[in-house]
Amino acid sequence: MLKTGDIIEGTVLEVKVESVVIKFDRRTIEAKCKAELQEGEKIKVKIKGWYNGKLLLKVLNKNDGFSSNSIDVRV
């Protein structure tokens, strides 16, 4: 089970017009994305919590650890 504050790594499998498909370990999710991601890109995200039945994630920046970008994951 995912908990607030957890950091997980994944790979962007597909970038669509309004969403992206990201593979995390054994699970693949489709996420509405505000960040600019590319297919094949490896990303780290931090679990921000749940809001209105959606899991909120924050993309961690490779340089300083945090980015202003966020992903709203549809579960």
pLDDT in tens, 19-45: 999 999 889 999 888 888 899 999 999
CB 31 within 8 A of CB 71: yes
Find how far residue 50's CA is from the centre of its chain. 13
Token pair 């959606």 is at which residue? 54
Per-residue pLDDT tens digits for 55-75: 888 888 655 445 555 555 554
∠ Cα 59 61 67 (to 5°): 65
Q: In the predicted model, is pLDDT for residue 14 greater than 60?
A: yes
